[in-house]
Amino acid sequence: MGAEKFGMPTVGIIGGGQLGRMTALAAHRLGIAVVLLDPDPYCSAAQVVPRMIVAPFDDPEALEQLATSVDVVTYENEWLNPEQLGSLERQGYKVRPSAYTLARIQDKFFQRTDLQKAGLPVPVFAAVDSLADLEAWVVEQGFPVVIKMRVQGYDGRGVRIAHTRAQLVDAWAALSHQPLLAEAFVPFTKELAVMVARSELGEVGAYPVVETVQKNNVCHTVSVPADIDALIAEKCRDLACAAVECFDGVGIFGIELFLKEDGIVLINELAPRPHNSGHYSLDACLTDQFEQYLRAIFGLPLGATALHSPAAAMVNILGEESMHLDLKAILDFDVHLHWYGKPESRPGRKLGHMNAVGKDPKAALAKVLAAHQRLGFS
């Protein structure tokens, strides 16, 4: 195998979706070899890696085979069993972010609890074990409330907002096959996010604050720099760095924030991996989030996080029943297309994204939205 022959550092990536693919592409640039683990031989990342183990994420033999072939094991999604990663660590393999970090972040209740203990601001929340529990909590808090799956929610699946008792009962019926978290609805004026890298050696690098817009609770657009006061931006970056420290995180983390009218910032959640709100960095920052991630987990110096253009924006391309990519049409626009090569389109599935830079965030956003519209999206 090439990696062993040339003595290249090697990363093992568990999960072959778009985040695994973009991490693998960054690894190639840095001369880091990649071994991928995913059950689907046709997954997005499979197309860009020469070495792949085709097996379920929880297959102990496959995990061990991966760990023995690489210098660092990492993962592109947080729905792994931390016990299994911990067992690899106990055998002396390096897993980043660590099994501990994953265990505390993957459960939104543990995550919130740790952030609160560290004195960081989060929405009012409670774990709820029964509808009676939930109703009692709502009597104290009042409507509206947000009900969330504690684990395995993503892209807004597993999040319901209830304004009435009937909606609360519906939400409970839809989600209660899983442990749930209830939280106060935050009347935010903006949703913001910050990517933070923290290296093996404790070096920390925070990216500019972005503004995200969700449609149906799914990230639709990102624009940067966020149109907020400089002091608030500084507070967001400080909070994001403190949140990563609180979990002793090594790697790259997406920190989602709510900004309220009174200037108060609350932490919504952390993702222990590259994040959709950081995709803009591929075409707008001196070091993109995927390269930074690899630098962090290999203990290499972190790169500069600043924008190299005044502003940038990103729009997601979500799947429909069938999807034909009109490359000629998109490439007529001043945008960078990142297509994930997923084996099939499904409604709502993230199939790609487009980035643009501009003189200000509005101008950059107008560019990506024009190209998005040309694809037939409204």
Ligand X SMILES: Nc1ncnc2c1ncn2[C@@H]1O[C@H](COP(=O)(O)OP(=O)(O)OP(=O)(O)O)[C@@H](O)[C@H]1O
Residues that bind ligand X (CB under 6 A): 123, 146, 148, 153-156, 158-159, 183, 185-186, 191, 214, 217-219, 256, 268-269
Please give the single-letter amino acid code of residue 171: A
Binds 148, which of Mg ion, ligand X, none (CB < 5 to 8 A, cut-off by type)?
Answer: ligand X
Range 47-52, long-range pairs (CB < 8 A, 24+ positions): 47/21, 47/341, 48/21, 48/24, 49/24, 50/2, 51/1, 51/3, 52/16
> What is the spatial distance between Cα 264 and Cα 3, in angstroms, rounded to a whole number?
49
Report, in Å, the least distance between residue 301 CB and ligand X: 29
> Is 122 in contact with 116 (CB distance < 8 Å)?
yes
297 Cβ contact partners less than 8 Å away, ≥ 6 residues apart = 11, 72, 74, 96, 97, 199, 200, 250, 251
Report, in Å, the least distance between residue 145 CB and ligand X: 8
Please give the single-letter amino acid code of residue 144: P
Paired tokens of 81: 């069993």
> What is the spatial distance between Cα 60 and Cα 38, in angstroms, rounded to a whole number?
13
Paired tokens of 25: 């592409």
Binds 197, which of Mg ion, ligand X, none (CB < 5 to 8 A, cut-off by type)?
Answer: none
* Residue keyed to tokens 């309220």: 260
Interface residues with Mg ion (CB under 5 A) are: 256
Report, in Å, the least distance between residue 314 CB and ligand X: 14
Closer of 88 and 266 to ligand X (Cβ): 266
Residue 353, SS3 per DSSP: strand
Q: What angle do CA 284, 46, 106 make, to 5 degrees?
A: 70
Binds 311, which of ligand X, Mg ion, none (CB < 5 to 8 A, cut-off by type)?
Answer: none
Binds 235, which of ligand X, Mg ion, none (CB < 5 to 8 A, cut-off by type)?
Answer: none
Q: What Rg value do the Cα atoms of the chain yield, rounded? A: 20
Closer of 190 and 338 to ligand X (Cβ): 190
Binds 84, which of Mg ion, ligand X, none (CB < 5 to 8 A, cut-off by type)?
Answer: none
Report, in Å, the least distance between residue 126 CB and ligand X: 12
Closer of 211 and 256 to Mg ion (Cβ): 256
Report, in Å, the least distance between residue 53 CB and ligand X: 26
Closer of 153 and 208 to Mg ion (Cβ): 153
Residue nearest to ligand X (CB): 186
Closer of 12 and 17 to ligand X (Cβ): 17
Report, in Å, the least distance between residue 154 CB and ligand X: 4
Closer of 153 and 251 to Mg ion (Cβ): 153
Report, in Å, the least distance between residue 212 CB and Mg ion: 9
Closer of 51 and 349 to ligand X (Cβ): 349
Length of the chain: 378
